Structure 1
Amino acid sequence: MTTYALYGEIIFPAHEGRQGFKVRRFSEVKIESSWKSLTDTAEIVLPRKVRDFDRMKVSEWFREGDPLEIWLGYDGNLVLEFTGYVKTVPAGIPLLISCEDEMYKLKRNTISVSIKDCKLKQLLQEIAPGYSIVCDDTKLGNVRYSKVSPSQILEDLQKQGIYSWFKNKELHAMGRSQLEEDAVDIQLELTAGESLKQKAIEDTLVIMSLIRKKGKKLIVEVGDKNAGKRLKKEISGIEITEAELKREAEKMYRDAKQPGLDGDITLFGVPRIEHGSKMNLKSTLYPEKDGVYYVDAVTKTVTPPGYTQSCKLGNKTAV
């Protein structure tokens, strides 16, 4: 049997007069990441009795807005799992430090934007200067925002089906997270646990509406009439035709009716998974669960010496 030695480092770079330092002793690290949530978060639990902390006030070591990096791995092979900023530092014992990724910065200033015939990349470069942008050539039409935070603009894009997330210092904005990598083979009987069950395929009606700058609201309906499950989506700020709106509704309907699995699968620290990864599930006891699925969200929890990854599955894919 292969054994691994867990190793981790939390790096606090020098910032605003405070020297940089590393933390290698921690009680727990929990990282939550999803392409649907806008903001990735981390929680770090530190014992109060850590060398040198008692020589200095905790508030002088950890301050709101301080940058940090969380590196995790086995046998000294570390991977950068989280980069972001300290959000809160409670004074209790043990120390619980809450953190947010780069979205932390986009929540804390306001901006006004007015662009005619705007493309997605133009808007993102305007609201998030200094970051690398990864997106497609989606046309947004005329865009106008007045004194709102960049994160509020990204939340507005979500209502149009454009989801945003950071991957370290890269801002991604797409319809979903899908990494161009081979699927990771997972034998369900060898995992730390799973709560997967066949997803119920319900009768579904998609109601999509377009708020036009001039004229009446355009509404299209696609799907099963008298359905108990109704999915509604409202689009504004862009000019598209009724046929284009219907195609969007049809895609949303197909996604909703796609067979798959609900629930979570919990892995140990290897193989490494992130949202957008593909899992090729195999089961000896439950072959009906076999298939290749995208991962929508991952919660990584490290409580030395344990390391688990709780993965929420997304759509099933052919490859």
Structure 2
Amino acid sequence: MKNIISICLTVALCAFSVQAKPLKENTMLYLNMNSKAVLGNIQLNNITSFTITQTVQELSSTAKLVVPKAYGKIGQKPILDLLKVGDPVKIDLGYNGVYNQEFEGFISEIEADAPLVINCDDKMWPYKQNNWVKNYPSATLKQVLQEIFSGLNIDCPQVNLGKFEIDNASSYKVIQDLQSDHGLYSRINGNTLKVGLAYDFADLSKVHTYDIRKDVKENDLKYKRKEDMQVRFKAVANLPNGKKKTVTVGSKMPNASEKTLNFAGNFTEAELKEKANAVLAKAVFDGYTGSVTGFGTPVTRCGDCLKFIDEVNPEREGTYMIETVEISYDDNGFARKNTLSYKVY
């Protein structure tokens, strides 16, 4: 990147060295944490702390970074004079001089304080800033998304929206409403906007492995049997004529957790029930629920899959989709908290 000002702190506050828990029996690894953040034309090394949150349930990922007091000025200019909302951001983290890109997006808010706190949104940020007024006599989901998210490849199901209007709304607000009305989740992965049900986001090509007794810092996992999972789904079909059709599948127990699934299309009751049962089959399983916290590597992301190895209870081994990843990087270490969704296999 042109004109990047690179600054390396030598103060002890920002030179982290973390002792990891043993990843293999009788072996203790000492890993030096390293970070690199590029904000606009400034590169900052060894920031005090980062937190990054990625989740399939939300449209965008966020990051918060804390800049230590030592970065009060760059040359003769205060750092605040060199940063502005909308500047591009890249955050790389790693160990022993090896970096992985953890976040790419834009500055969304600058908190003028000491230490300086900078909030960032991912690539969805520019699509929160625009404004659309459109009237479609008849439209498909892909047709609308291709127009309001121009520049991105669109990966979405075939959905007929019928008559569709956008009245002074950003691209982000439009897709937020579509998610609410049709039960569709959306994320920007690279240069592709992927839209679908939450269960469509599992990337089977990216499977990470945790030995549950060696590679895990902490967990709140609970192993549950299929018969103990009291879950039901209310499936709602949003018909082209504006009416709705509803079926319910799953547990009939009064204390069951109930979730709503929205589908767009002229489905028969049998078709709607089939779709709801397909989701139910993924939501009810013998396996783990909850979250597990590992180290900075392997680099897990929401939508990836996490495979557990357990020598003590091999019957409990399995692979799960990761719904949410919360990344923390500070003087307590470098960690990734992975919240599980459904069992893939």
| One-letter identity of the residue aligned with 2:106 | Y
Q: Kindly tell me: are residues 151 and 34 of structure 1, through their superposed partners in 2, closer, same or farther at Cα, counting changes over 3 Å?
A: same
Query: For 1:61, which of 82, 85, 100 is the aligned residue?
Result: 82
CA–CA distance in 2 between the matches of 1:122 and 1:39? 22
Query: For 1:166, which of 180, 183, 188 is the aligned residue?
Result: 188
Secondary structure of residue in 2 paired with 1:49: helix
Query: For 1:177, which of 179, 201, 211 is the aligned residue?
Result: 201
Structure 1 unaligned blocks of 5 or more: 14-19
- Structure 1 stretch displaced more, 153-162 or 223-232: 223-232
| One-letter identity of the residue aligned with 1:87 | S
Query: For 2:270, which of 221, 243, 266 is the aligned residue?
Result: 243
| One-letter identity of the residue aligned with 2:302 | H
CA–CA distance in 1 between the matches of 2:340 and 2:142? 29
* 2:116 is equivalent to residue 95 of structure 1: yes
User: Counterpart in 2 of 1:142?
Assistant: 162
**CA displacement 1:69-119 (0-9 Å, x = unmatched):** 111222333222111111111111111111111222222222234446644
1:116–1:141: 8 Å Cα contact kept in structure 2?
no
1:25–1:50: 8 Å Cα contact kept in structure 2?
no
* Structure 1 residue 213, shift from structure 2 partner: 4.4
* Structure 1 residue 54, shift from structure 2 partner: 7.6
1:285-300 equivalences in 2 (<5 Å): 285-287=312-314, 289-300=316-327
Query: For 1:268, which of 275, 292, 295 is the aligned residue?
Result: 295
Q: Kindly tell me: are residues 291 and 234 of structure 1, through their superposed partners in 2, closer, same or farther at Cα, counting changes over 3 Å?
A: closer
Following TM superposition, the consecutive aligned residue runs of length 4 or more in structure 1 with deviations greater than 6 angstroms are none
* Structure 1 residue 286, shift from structure 2 partner: 4.8
| One-letter identity of the residue aligned with 1:179 | D
CA–CA distance in 2 between the matches of 1:251 and 1:64? 43
CA–CA distance in 1 between the matches of 2:45 and 2:37? 7
User: Counterpart in 1 of 2:56?
Assistant: 35
CA–CA distance in 2 between the matches of 1:40 and 1:294? 17
Secondary structure of residue in 1 paired with 2:176: helix
User: Counterpart in 2 of 1:198?
Assistant: 223
Q: Kindly tell me: are residues 137 and 306 of structure 1, through their superposed partners in 2, closer, same or farther at Cα, counting changes over 3 Å?
A: same
CA–CA distance in 2 between the matches of 1:116 and 1:253? 35
**CA displacement 1:53-82 (0-9 Å, x = unmatched):** 483234312211211111122233322211
Secondary structure of residue in 1 paired with 2:204: coil
* Structure 1 residue 38, shift from structure 2 partner: 1.1
Normalising by structure 1, what TM-score?
0.86
1:198–1:261: 8 Å Cα contact kept in structure 2?
yes
* Structure 1 residue 302, shift from structure 2 partner: 1.3
| One-letter identity of the residue aligned with 2:122 | D
Identity of matched residues, %: 25
2:139–2:164: 8 Å Cα contact kept in structure 1?
no
1:83–1:168: 8 Å Cα contact kept in structure 2?
no
User: Counterpart in 2 of 1:220?
Assistant: 247
CA–CA distance in 1 between the matches of 2:45 and 2:242? 61
Count residues in correspondence. 311
CA–CA distance in 1 between the matches of 2:286 and 2:123? 34
1:141–1:239: 8 Å Cα contact kept in structure 2?
no
CA–CA distance in 2 between the matches of 1:234 and 1:197? 25
CA–CA distance in 1 between the matches of 2:244 and 2:298? 48
2:283–2:342: 8 Å Cα contact kept in structure 1?
no
User: Counterpart in 2 of 1:310?
Assistant: 337
CA–CA distance in 1 between the matches of 2:242 and 2:35? 58
Across the aligned residues of Structure 1 and Structure 2, the Cα RMSD in angstroms comes to: 2.6
